[in-house]
Amino acid sequence: MAERHVNVGWAEGLHARPASLFVRAATAAGVPVMIAKGGGQPVNAASMLAVLGLGAQSGDEVVLSSQAEGAEAALDRLAKLVAEGLEELPETV
């Protein structure tokens, strides 16, 4: 299983607009991705309700994971999006 541990870079955490950006990127990743907060239960990263339900705040550590073959690049792009708190989807996502 591939994993990335990152701290949430958005000032407002994974809420509203940032969560929407993240969910769109996770959906576009082409592989199933899970996200968990601080050792909690992983949830589907492509589900807006599940991501909002994490309650991830700025600076909180989240774990992105996937069991799919070839998930490394997708997790790298998603980790960059979360860690840097980007305001729009990178072209490569």
Task: Return the domain boundaries, the chain.
Answer: 2-84
pLDDT score at 87: 79
What is the average per-residue pLDDT within 86-91?
A: 70
Quote the strand ranges of the chain, DSSP E. Answer: 2-7, 34-37, 43-44, 61-66
Q: Which of 10, 12, 15, 53 is catalytic?
A: 15
Q: How far is CA 77 from CA 40, 42, 52, in A?
A: 22, 19, 20
Active site annotation includes 5 = no
Digit-coded pLDDT (tens) for 28-63: 999 999 999 987 999 999 999 999 999 999 999 999
pLDDT score at 55: 95
- Tell whether the model's pLDDT for residue 89 goes beyond 80: no
Superfamily (CATH H level) for 2-84: HPr-like (3.30.1340.10)
Digit-coded pLDDT (tens) for 63-87: 999 999 989 999 999 999 999 988 7
